[in-house]
């Protein structure tokens, strides 16, 4: 199993960070990984049991993944697990936590894990997939930070 974690501090309140992260009408305005992100089954908003479809931009991450929210605790944490995805992924799950670090600052921590197919090739494939997910997760969190912090505050 490949595990990956990334954290970033954002100058914004946890509620604002949480709301932008899980607002699928605005998801593509900041999420550097995705070219499509939507809620399924006519769900009006993210919540426990709501299914999503996310499709990546790049060659490896350009695959579509359907997932379901298994935790949704605004403004602190949410978690999803894959219900359907590309054949290379046997399992995928991720948790995103939003922890207050003082007035107006939130530490966002994204943790995930993936197991790949075929089983006999995991020793080779999972370290590569884990590295790619770690790198992309850092990029996504930096993009989230840029979307939430006015440019003058970051400089």
Strands 106-116 and 2-10: what pairing?
antiparallel
CATH second-level architecture of 2-154? 2-Layer Sandwich (3.30)
Q: Among residues of the chain, what percentage have pLDDT more than 90?
A: 87
- Measure the CA–CA gap between 98 and 92, rounded to whole angstroms: 21
Give the pLDDT band of residue 60 (cuts 50, 70, 90).
low
Q: Given this model, what pLDDT does residue 61 score?
A: 59
Judge whether residue 24 has pLDDT over 90: yes
- Measure the CA–CA gap between 110 and 59, rounded to whole angstroms: 22
Within 8 A by CB and 6+ apart from 44, the residues are none
Give the pLDDT band of residue 58 (cuts 50, 70, 90).
confident
Average pLDDT over all residues of the chain: 93
Does residue 91 contact residue 79 with C-beta atoms inside 8 Å?
no
Q: Given this model, what pLDDT does residue 150 score?
A: 74
Residue 17's CB is within 10 A of a number of other CB atoms, namely 24
Q: Given this model, what pLDDT does residue 82 score?
A: 98
DSSP state of 83: E
* Of residues 102 and 108, more confidently modeled: 108
- Measure the CA–CA gap between 40 and 63, rounded to whole angstroms: 17
**CA angle at 122 for the pair 118 and 123, rounded to the nearest 5°:** 145
């Amino acid at each position: 199993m490949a595990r990956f974690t990334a954290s970033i501090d954002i100058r914004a309140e946890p509620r604002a960070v949480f709301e932008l992260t899980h607002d699928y009408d605005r998801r593509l305005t900041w999420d550097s990984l995705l070219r499509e992100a939507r809620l399924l089954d006519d769900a009006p908003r993210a919540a426990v049991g709501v299914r999503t479809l996310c499709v990546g931009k790049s060659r490896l991450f350009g695959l579509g993944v359907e997932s379901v929210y298994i935790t949704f605790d605004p403004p602190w944490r949410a978690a999803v697990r894959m219900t359907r995805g590309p054949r290379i992924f046997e399992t995928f799950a991720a948790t995103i936590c939003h922890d207050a670090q003082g007035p107006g600052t939130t530490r966002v921590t994204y943790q995930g894990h993936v197991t790949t197919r075929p089983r006999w090739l995991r020793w080779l494939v999972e370290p590569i997939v884990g590295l790619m997910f770690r790198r992309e997760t850092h990029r996504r969190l930096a993009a989230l930070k840029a979307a939430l912090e006015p440019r003058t505050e970051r400089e």
